[in-house]
Every structure is written in structure tokens, then in C-alpha cells.
Amino acid sequence: MIHYRKDTDNIVTLILDMEGRSSNLLNHELVAAFQPVIKHLQSEKAAGRVSGIIITSAKKDFLQGGDLSYLRELKDPEEAFNAAQKLKTFLRDIERPGVPVVAAINGDAIGTGFELALACHHRIALANPKTRLGHPEVKIGLIPSGGAVIRLMWLLGIERAYPLLLEGRRYSPQEALKVGIIDDLADDQTGLMRKAKAWLLSDPPTQRPWDEEDGEIPGGTAAEPNLGHRIRLLTARLSATYNDLYPAERAILDLLAEGSKLDFETACRLDSRYYARVATGQVSNNMISTFWFDKQAIRTNGLGRPKGYGKFRPRKVGIIGAGRMGSGIAFLCLRNGLTVVLKDVSQPIADRGREYVIERIDEYIERGTFQPEEREELLSRIITTDQSAEFENCDIVVEAVFENKAIKLKVTKEAEEQLDEFAVFATNTISIPITELGKGSLRPENYVGIHFFSPAEKTYVVEVIRGEQTNDETIARAFDFATSIRKIPVVVKDSWGFFTARVLNTYILEGVTMLNEGYPAALVENMGRQAGMEKGPLALADELGLSLVMRYEEQAASHYGTKYKQHPAVPALKIMLDDLGRGGKSKRAGFYEYDADGTARLWNGISDHFPVTKDDYDRRRMKDRFLFCQVIESGWCLQENVITEPAGANLASVYGWGFPRYTGGVLRYLESYGREEFAARCAELSERYGQRFTLPKALRP
């Protein structure tokens, strides 16, 4: 579990090596194993037989985070508080043996795993740009439990620690050095241990800043007027951004402000109280379930992938279309080790796509994710061309041209003529049926939809769309391609709007309906955001394009036939499109008006055509309408087998179109709300607003 070595300089090296695990995990087993080691070190110090300690790992990583299975089931705040206090006691024992301690970080140290590194007096990391360090707990609705918030405040100051904790980024060692959470880098394992020992022999301090009598937090405390004022501004900005829906984000800022006025031990106890409240809350449970367990089920365990097919490992990827989408996909492929052929109608246009890739690479070098020496290697793996012949030997080709059926069919045929019988051809489309496009393919069984969201290099989810003739092996290969470029693939049936656009459209239509009912446009937008959506429904309507919003509704009418009942938003859409010619952002005229620089504001003339008649608003009902319509449509998609995995629906909803993260996704929201309570509320909404709030069987109690 822990290997103990001591050299002639009385420097002890503790090597973490948990038995039966591929990674070290900071759990009760490791804490228990440390207890006799710490006692021995304390006795050695008392006898003058130890001058320094190095903590490192025998695994490929340094130390991973805590037990999320335990946290998902944790309901008792007192139990959570005691667990946090126990971890803090352990970490205090690490940093107070009376001798300096170095963390020689040879691999990933994430979350609770990085807490151990922070408890060391000095941190040196192996300069492997693929290693990740830091505290991403906020991404799953948590705050660190071992005192990291307080330690980072003392090391960096409130104003530097706050964004670091709020963003929850996983830093490369180079980035971590820049932001100040590690102290040094080493080129290799030998250098790592040599630097660790050299620091210990340099007569370093044996006390942490917070244990010194005259220790001060960099930049001051919240009790100081100027910093206190800036914290109040940060609090207002946080509320405006998150609408007080995310307890972890608010807890971080409150804890930094309050903890800065207290001594370290009292601040840590306060930290445990905040942690207990956050960790046992519904939001944390929702987010852990979706952003950890659902994600692992798909990316690691292949949930939704057809079984019985070997792992597809693409090496060479062809991309048709060097616009932002195609270039973004190219960058994704390059950063994950693949070779790319980027084609467009002319060499200059294809080269512009390469320039976009270069900009992204340079951006990542600037922040430390990539190293300067990686630049040429990355660029050596991209070929730009205007010739389809370059697609020879590609394992998969992704088409990302304009949403035009004739163009898509033309470039598909040209590319497929160069491919062998095993290659996959994927189209990135948002509205044209895959089955329809597949009819023009030379090998329709190898033809599949892969819907990337914009910007391709930053979003997490892709829809893998099965056409009527797409075979299981092609779906499995598309799934594997998506995971190879670090995407979460969600397999959906070829139906109108697929899954994400179909459900998102209900949110847009509900917003347009409210506008048509006489609600002020600004209120409609604000209520959408206050419900937790990333953008208001009218802004999303403009971005998608009102003609496409209408097209989806027309496809719904065709799909349901005589059972279809026109959505009450349709008359307002027709006014915008047919009478006013305001089609959305691409026309620089929609529900918003747009300046030349892209700045948007609600159209001044909107109330002339949609008069405000409501002077009394039930805000809760408005928010429920926005969220419930999306949950209900997701239920219809489940019932019609458009999507079969609730985990995929949850992840696609949050990452694909911006359903509130605090809910854990459309179907997780249903479960946390309670099926019976949800059904009762749907009955109320259905009686008031009509059949679109009727609950499908798939979601009934």
C-alpha cells in the first residue's frame, strides 16, 4: 500500500501503491494505511532521524479523487461533516510532521487526490502535458472536502483562488505552474526525484503560511473595505450568472469570504460545514449521477454501443468542409493523435481551415495545454486539399458542408469512390434525414449521421444517427470514433429533429407562445435563464433560424399525421417569417436586432406586433412550462425509441442544448422532482395550456 524508504540523508520516500488497483485512490483504505506511517515519522522526527519526506506514486498516476459511489448515496449532513473533518485531520498530520514534505507528482492528481499534494510544503510535477491536476469538484456539484478552498486562499489569495475553484479546470502541469498550484516541473522521473531531494536539502521552511504567527493571506481578507467591496461585486455577478441555482459555486465564494476572517483551524471546520450542506443536497446528487456515472457508462462502458464488434481505432480521418465546423473537427482529431485530410472546393479555402486549426493550437500553447515543441508535430498530421483522391486510406470521412441535400450527395459520392469497403462515411447534418441522404451513398450500410454541436472543439456530446440501412457495425465504429476524440456519443434514431433539436424546439416554441400570449419579450428571456437554461428561447430561435424552427414543426406535423395538433407558437412564427421577413441572426433581424459587430438586443418593434397584455406573472409557472415541455418531449422520444438510454438523454440535454446542469438533465430532473408530483403538475399545465403537456406513458408513475 505504502512503501517506506529512507536514504543516508535521512530523507524518507513514501511510495503510494494500492494493491489490486490500476490507480491510487484517496479513500479510507489509504488513510488507514497512512496512520502507522505518520506515527512512525513523528517518532523519527522526535529522535532527529528524519530531515524530509517525499511522497510519490508507483502507479501511472499520483492520486485520484474520492469515492463518488459513496457520495451519491450520502444523505446525512452530520456524516458528511465528520468524513470531511476526518480527511482534514489526516492532511494536517501530513503537513505537520515537523519536517518539510514534497509531493513528487508523477501523474494525474485530481480532486481529493490533489488535496494531498496541497497539504505538502512543496509540489513538483512531471512535465507530461497529458497529466491533469486540480480541483474539478464544482463540475459535479461539489466543493473540495479536505480544506483545499482554505489552503488555496492562503497560497494564492481570494481573488486568484476564486476563479480557479469556480472554473473547476483540470490543468496540465505547465498550466498548473502558471496559475500557482504547483511550484516546479521536472522533465523525467529521475529529475523529479532529484529536484524533490534538492529542495529538501536546501533548508526549506517546515511551517505552512497559515501556521506562522505573522502569516498573511495574499491580497488581504474580506474584512478589508476594498476587497470586501470586490467580493460583494463578485457575489452579485455570481447570482446574475447562475441565478442561485448552484449551491457549490455560491459556497466557494462565501467560504473564501468568511474563512479569510478566521484562523486556519476554524476556517477548516467552517469548510466542513459548507461541504456537508452541498454534498448532501439534491443538486450534488443530480450532477454526480449524470456527469460522472452516466458519462462513465457511455464513454468507458459503451452504453448504447452495439455489442459484438471489436474496437475501432481510426488513424486517418477525412473531413469535407473547411468552415468553422469542419476545421473544429479537424482540430479535435489532431489533438487526439489522428491524421487529418481537410478538403474544400478550393485549395485556398482548405488552407483557411488549416489557419483556423493553427489559431486553436496557438491558443492552447498560450495557456499551457500544448507545449511549443508540439506545434509542428500536430501540424505535420494535417493535409489540406481540393482533391477527393486524398481520402484514399481514410478510415472514416466526416462531411461538414452546408445544410444542402444536393451538395451533400455530390461530395459524398466523390469521397466514397476513394474509400475501401470498410471505411465509414459520416454526415454532420441538423435537419436532413440520414435515410434520405444514405440513399445516395455507394454503401448505405456504412453511412451514418454524426451530429457535432458548435463549436465542435469545445462541446462534449455528439449524436450518432442511425439511418434505415445503417448497420450495427457502422454504429459501433462511429461510437468508437466519437470516444477516440473525447466526445460522448449518444445513439439516436433517424427521426425529425433527431433528439436534441426536437426537444430544444419545444423550449423555443414555448417561449414564442408566451410572447404571443402577451408576456413581455424581456420577461420571457429572463424566465428562461432563471429556470437555468443557458440562453433565452427567443435568442435560441434567432440562432437556429426561425425557418428551421418552423421546419421542425412541419416535420412533426408530417410525422404524427392526423394526431398532430398545431403548436400555438406557429401563428407568431408565420408573422415573423412571412409578414415581417425577420428570419433570425443570419438575416441580422429576428426577435433580436444585430449590430455590425454582432451585438444583439431585443428588437424595439417587437411589442408593436406582439402587444404586452399580461400585467401579472406566475414566475414559477413560466419556469415550469419551459422545463416541463422539454422533459415531456424527451419522454416521447423514449417512447418512440428515438433514444433508448436515459443516460444519453441526460448528457445530450445538458451538453447539447443547455438544459440546466443543476438538474442533471431532462430525465434526471423528472426523477428528482418525483414522478407522481411531476404527473400532477403536468395535469395542471395540460388543463390550462393544452395537450402538449400530456405526460407520455414512458414517464408516468
Q: Is there a contact between 426 and 449 (Cβ–Cβ < 8 Å)? A: yes
Res. 20: pLDDT tops 90: no
Set of cell numbers at residue 697:
406513458
Set of cell numbers at residue 129:
502535458
Confidence at residue 367, expressed as pLDDT on a 0 to 100 scale? 84
Set of cell numbers at residue 379:
501540424
| Cβ neighbours of residue 596 closer than 8 Å, sequence gap 6 or more | none
pLDDT, average across residues 675-693: 97
% pLDDT > 90, the chain: 89
Q: Is there a contact between 286 and 247 (Cβ–Cβ < 8 Å)? A: no
Confidence at residue 21, expressed as pLDDT on a 0 to 100 scale? 84
For residue 302, the Cα-to-chain-centroid distance in whole angstroms is 19
Cα(135)–Cα(7) distance, integer angstroms: 33
pLDDT, average across residues 89-106: 93
Q: Is the peptide bond before 218 cis (omega within 30 degrees of 0)?
A: no
Per residue in 402-453, pLDDT tens?
999 999 999 999 999 999 999 999 999 988 999 999 999 999 999 999 999 9
pLDDT, average across residues 551-574: 94
pLDDT, average across residues 599-625: 95
pLDDT, average across residues 296-306: 96
With 0-12 / 13-18 / 19 or more C-beta atoms within 10 angstroms meaning exposed / middle / buried, residue 698 is middle
What SS3 class is residue 602?
strand
Res. 473: pLDDT tops 90: yes
pLDDT-derived band at 388, boundaries 50, 70, 90: very high
Res. 121: pLDDT tops 80: yes
Taking phi first (over 0 means left), then psi (-120 to 50 degrees means alpha), and beta for anything else, what does residue 393 get? left
With 0-12 / 13-18 / 19 or more C-beta atoms within 10 angstroms meaning exposed / middle / buried, residue 596 is exposed
pLDDT, average across residues 627-640: 98
2-280: in CATH 3.40.50.150:
no
Confidence at residue 24, expressed as pLDDT on a 0 to 100 scale? 86
pLDDT, average across residues 543-547: 96
pLDDT-derived band at 699, boundaries 50, 70, 90: very high
Provide the 8-state DSSP code for 146.
S
**Is 390 annotated in the active site?**
no
Q: Give helix then strand counts, H and E, for the chain.
A: 29, 18
Secondary structure element (H or E) that encloses residue 419, with its range: none
Cα(368)–Cα(94) distance, integer angstroms: 30
% pLDDT > 70, the chain: 100
pTM: 0.93
**Is 645 annotated in the active site?**
no
Confidence at residue 96, expressed as pLDDT on a 0 to 100 scale? 85
pLDDT, average across residues 508-529: 97
Confidence at residue 98, expressed as pLDDT on a 0 to 100 scale? 83
Taking phi first (over 0 means left), then psi (-120 to 50 degrees means alpha), and beta for anything else, what does residue 125 get? beta
Confidence at residue 66, expressed as pLDDT on a 0 to 100 scale? 76
Set of cell numbers at residue 678:
411531476
pLDDT, average across residues 58-73: 88
Residues facing 385 on adjacent strands: 343
Per residue in 272-283, pLDDT tens?
999 999 999 999
Nearest to 513 by CA among 585, 567, 579, 574: 567
Q: What are the extents of the domains in the chain?
A: 2-280, 316-493, 500-699
CATH architecture of 316-493: 3-Layer(aba) Sandwich (3.40)
**Fold observed for domain 500-699:** N-(1-d-carboxylethyl)-l-norvaline Dehydrogenase; domain 2 (1.10.1040)
With 0-12 / 13-18 / 19 or more C-beta atoms within 10 angstroms meaning exposed / middle / buried, residue 261 is middle
pLDDT, average across residues 552-567: 92
pLDDT, average across residues 192-211: 95
Confidence at residue 197, expressed as pLDDT on a 0 to 100 scale? 97
Q: Is there a contact between 177 and 185 (Cβ–Cβ < 8 Å)? A: yes
Confidence at residue 344, expressed as pLDDT on a 0 to 100 scale? 97
End-to-end CA distance of the chain: 48
Res. 616: pLDDT tops 90: no
pLDDT-derived band at 31, boundaries 50, 70, 90: confident
Cα(623)–Cα(437) distance, integer angstroms: 38
pLDDT-derived band at 299, boundaries 50, 70, 90: very high
Confidence at residue 608, expressed as pLDDT on a 0 to 100 scale? 96
Res. 168: pLDDT tops 80: yes
Strand order through the sheet with 184-186: 2-6, 11-16, 52-57, 101-105, 122-126, 184-186
pLDDT, average across residues 493-522: 96
pLDDT, average across residues 241-262: 97
pLDDT-derived band at 649, boundaries 50, 70, 90: very high
Cα(262)–Cα(254) distance, integer angstroms: 13
Which residue of the set 44, 95, 115, 633 is catalytic? 115
pLDDT-derived band at 515, boundaries 50, 70, 90: very high
Which residue of the set 44, 95, 137, 645 is catalytic? 137
Confidence at residue 295, expressed as pLDDT on a 0 to 100 scale? 96
